[in-house]
Structure 1
């Protein structure tokens, strides 16, 4: 278990430290079957091939694009800097200990591989911005932040996780706001 947690931490650190340009948010779909089909059929976009020259967009352009795709946003002015900050709604999915945890070691290892592949796919498709386990052995096992416009879409994507399907994990999702363009430090 310790090895798995360390491996997950390394993967999350590596993913969160990438300096590749963000992949554009894909067209939104509300139907879980459409989302599932798109995930199965898609291949990751290589950022260096998708973007030849990055032209910075204004806060207004970003807000208009997000609004057109169904995202909720708002602006606020930072009192200290007087900068206008664009806030976007994301969805934070807490992965909680599920009721079905009787898998043998081999089944658990296979589920963990499938779980990691699912999270990587969510990241590669631009649906999730960051995922990772918690460092304790509590009931909340990890978190994924979904970059999608609706609760329904975040819930559908989270429920596609093989660990959730197997009942080893359960999902609890909450809307969460963050400043657009800010990174972890």
Structure 2
């Protein structure tokens, strides 16, 4: 009985290792849907938000600018144009990042032109082409299933 238990445990252990080291199955339908190339990657535009020259004159103005900024982020994410966004930790220059699901910097500039915090230069911006996993576009749909609060 002891030998059977040891053999059974060894088989389970071997299967677990095989499952962990097995090559993931390529999903051509998903790759095509997400726009992935042969490496599962695609082009995006990364936008670095930096501290701009404008300083809000009142708390009410600051609140209004940030509300408009967040509303724009939510709108673009819901439209599938903004794949990822978030603030950086405390530092003197960089405030946050956007990853736009667009191919050109011109398209990203058009999308950021509607953000009141960028329009007024509360945030200055740098635009960079970025090549990353096509799966990045799935972040927003996954995020909606794990957030307890919304902005």
Q: What TM-score bracket applies, with the shorter chain setting the length? A: 0.5 to 0.7
RMSD (Å) for aligned C-alpha atoms: 2.4
- For normalisation by structure 2, the TM-score amounts to 0.66
Q: What is the rounded CA distance, in whole Å, between the counterparts of 1:95 and 1:161 in structure 2?
A: 12
Q: Is the 8 A contact 1:95 1:143 kept in 2?
A: yes
What is the aligned counterpart of 1:179 among 121, 133, 141? 133
Q: Structure 1 unaligned segments of length 5 or more: list them.
A: 1-55, 67-72, 76-84
Q: What is the rounded CA distance, in whole Å, between the counterparts of 1:58 and 1:172 in structure 2?
A: 31
Q: What is the rounded CA distance, in whole Å, between the counterparts of 2:89 and 2:51 in structure 1?
A: 14
SS in 1 for 2:40: strand
SS in 1 for 2:97: strand
Q: Say which structure, 1 or 2, has more relative contact order (CA 8 Å, 6+ apart).
A: 2
Render the CA deviation track for 1:19-38: whole Å, top value 9, x for unaligned: xxxxxxxxxxxxxxxxxxxx
- Residue 107 of structure 1: aligned partner: 61
Q: Structure 2 unaligned segments of length 5 or more: list them.
A: 1-27, 140-151
Runs of 4+ with deviation above 6 angstroms: none
What is the aligned counterpart of 2:76 among 122, 126, 130? 122
Aligned length: 112
Q: Which has the larger radius of gyration?
A: 2
- For normalisation by structure 1, the TM-score amounts to 0.54
